[in-house]
Structure 1
Amino acid sequence: MEAFRIYPMEAFSIYPSRYQTTMASADLKDELTCSICLNLYNDPITLQCGHNYCRECIEDVLDTQNGSAAYTCPQCRAEFPERPVLQRNTTLRNIAGHVLSQKGQEECEVFCTYCVHTPVVASKTCLLCEASLCDLHLTAHSKSPEHVLIQPTKSFSNRRCPHHKKVLTYYCTEDAECLCVSCCLGDKHRGHKVEVINEAYKQKKENLKTIQDNFIKESEEIEKRVQSLQNYLRQIPGKTAGIVERVRVQFRDIRMKVDNLENHVLNEISKQQEQVSLSVSDLIQQLESKKDNLSREICYIEDLCQMSDPLLYLQADRRDFTDVIEDGDQNLKETVAADLGEDLIFKTLTSGMMDIMSGLQKGYYVQEASGILLDVNTASNDVHISDDLKTASWSEVNQGRPENLERFEYYRVLSIKGFSNVRLYWDVEGSKEGAWRVGMTYPSIERNGECSHIGANNKSWGLRSLKNLYSVKYDGNEFPLSQTSSYKVRIYLDYTSGLLSFYELGNPMRHLYTYNTTFTKPLYPVIAVSNKAWVKVLN
């Protein structure tokens, strides 16, 4: 090996600034050391007496002085009647941070082994010599292949084979071990795939980069999902407030209708009371009149009975009282008082309550949409529409429909009817094979290009079924949901509240996703089918 040359000290005169800086940093470190923890200041603060400490250190000291007559400085014993207010020393904090970072940099640097008088940063390390060299010493270093040069390092033990003490230059892909030449010839790795370390390093790095890219992509998707959920979380209070307000309106309406029904029933009771009272009063009057007649007849009969002369008794003008008795029996039967119509009252009450409940269902619960028919004029020529306008199927045969501005280029079809200011739902059934998507859209959606896809724009909202998985998409952002257990889906629209929800019609029905936004135009049901898929409107 070629001997190293001895260079005069003048050759290193270009490096004094680093040495001087190192010495200056060492002196400055003493001034930046906390007297309590004996480390560089961490978030330094200054007391009123002028001494500096780490915030955590001085707070611990002051905590021990709680309850004493006064607080004191640990260095000068200056007393403070109240606990000192800790003021951050920003300048000292910045200087301490700079020195700490410079110290870390110096600890990471590798210096030339042969520059013994002045520390000089090494540019390479020789594994054979186990020495680090600066640019000047590197020029005189041997160029033979045995002298393997690598990036500067302080560790040499892990660069050599522990068994053969030779430089590790190969990598066994099967055992994931770094090898020397002798290891490659040994029995343990014979027949294994062995690569040069640099090549294995490049391959590993490329694979790791691919994994990193996948992790980044997954992280971005998670971030999008988190943002979407956070947006939904922020919308929940508004959504809840809307539901609460609708429920309050319904209860106010119910109370008003119940009060009206109560008044109506009470009025009916009062009316029946008045009618029955008048009827009973008339009967009482009739009976009182009959009673007076009977009293007169009784007096007449008593006068007759008091006559003792038979002749005079028989000559008296007497009437036949049989008719009077029969008339009296008939009048008693006809004077039965009418009763209050309690059955009729409760029938009126029950009927009124049923009307209230029926009105509640019509006013609050969602109604099934009717009359959803697919618009052939919007259907692309790769979509077949059934005769009843309820089913859209992907077709390999061009349907040959004439071109118009409303027709989609690929896969899609709109309904004939749109909806606004309503609360309703519509159901569909899709195929197990292929890919299909259902949702709602503004009629101004593009008819061709990427922007015409459901959910690829801010004009449409869609749910997709593909390979037994559900996902939702809006404005180009698609989020996976869950596996498909039923191929029947319900699309629920509350236009006024800005809610569009998707449900899976399994047993039980399962909520999949809800969009909360503000709708500004009528919404049309939209269907997309591809790869032998079909979708049927069930409503």
Structure 2
Amino acid sequence: MASADLKKGLDCSICLNIYTDPVTLRCGHSFCRLCIERVLNSQEVSGRYSCPECREEFEEQPRLQKNIALHNIVENLLGAQPEEEETRVFCTYCVDDSIPAVKSCLLCEASLCDKHLKVHSKSPEHVLCDPTTSLGNRKCSVHKKLLEYYCTEDSACICASCSAGEHQGHQVETVAEASEKRKTKLGDFMTEVIKEKQEAEKTVQSLQEHRRKVKEDAAGVTKKVTTIFRDLRRRLDTLERRVLGDISWQSEGVSHTCDFDIQQLEMKVEELSRKIHQIEELCNMTDPLTVLQESDTGDLCDTEEGHFEDIQLHGRGNLDVAGISHILYTGLSAIMRGLNGEMYIPKPESLSLNVKTANSYLHISDDKKIASISPLNHQKLISEKIGPCPEVFSCQAFSSGQHYWEVDVGGSDDWRVGMCYPKNTGVFYFDRESWYLRRSGKEYRVIEQGERKLPHSVSASRIRIYLDYEAGVISFYELEIPIRHLHTFTAKFTHPLHGVLYVGKGRLQIFEEVQRM
């Protein structure tokens, strides 16, 4: 009972079996090494690691420490487990005691201990083997004779009577010979399996190295991008203060001018009000002599109209929006130039189509940007099963650097876009040495020495093809909001690459002006 309780306490909480190569996390909980590695690898996508037992979180993937004490306890417990009685073979003739057998006789169908083996018959028909409880399986079920032969035609072990009977005329070998041949085949197969295992381990090692490198690259790029954004925020804040300061300065200038003019006009209004009051008093007088003697018509009727008009014109000052826009544009341009220096932005390409490489069923526009196929030619392609693909290639070729170009695919539901090698003859590869994205009806596939279906459809009508020649990368993007990555090919490029369009229906158009990444 104590042993059972101890064994129960040695179960891994993930696989619920006894620990295998137990390791411990920083929180103190132990697991099988393989079990916890699988859990941590699954958490790697989110970047948040935690203990499956207590849910304690770790900032980075925790280091696994071998639990030596627990490992020794498990080994001692398993080593102390008694063998199950039914799996042990005992001497047939030792009826009073359970004495382990050392050999079994196939003829006698009995197992023998050392003592009974010494007095056992040494004649050839008494065939000895390792101790076994399945002695009956070593004799023919029909003739009750030893299975001494192997029929290669029926792949069956047979006795001498079977060989002379129903298996007569068949290719027959002794069991030993057949066993050796089988071992040879198994050895050859094992060699292949070992080789395959080594290749798999090599691939695993390469993937682990690639994963490590990608993580290092991601960390470096993350640090660089973080620095760039921090610098951008600083520069934008400086530019914002400068532009807002200029707006405030202009606004204050106009405001001061308006305040002065308002003050002058208010004084004018007050003076005019006084004159209106005087005129009203004179108009209300009944004595003509008083009106004529106490009033100076010239002073009362002088309104100084010219000065008032000057104030009105002067009060029309506005913000210099054009000047503010110039400051903003100049500042943003300077920031972008600085950004280009800190992180390389690929050059956008506006490709043109090479009419000489166009299939005769295709029509190329005068500006060499549009490839289209008429409905009539499309029907011919289907009915006549035309061999050559209706494709066309770009005039430009790329043998270095980073570039991207964009295609409008909204005018067709049967197309391929990508890049390929040219031959020395001027004819282009379109199979093993081409990389492209394909649409056929509602299906989207990527093709490189075979086709593979994309897990999702493409909703946008604009596709971007990105090339990094030195890195051996061709990537496809869907230009929706936000831009979505579709697929990336990796290869070692050995020849210049041309853009390629395949038009099975409708039209494709290369954009004259591409959108900056």
Q: How does the TM-score come out when normalised to structure 1?
A: 0.44
The structure with the largest alpha-carbon Rg is 1
Q: How does the TM-score come out when normalised to structure 2?
A: 0.46
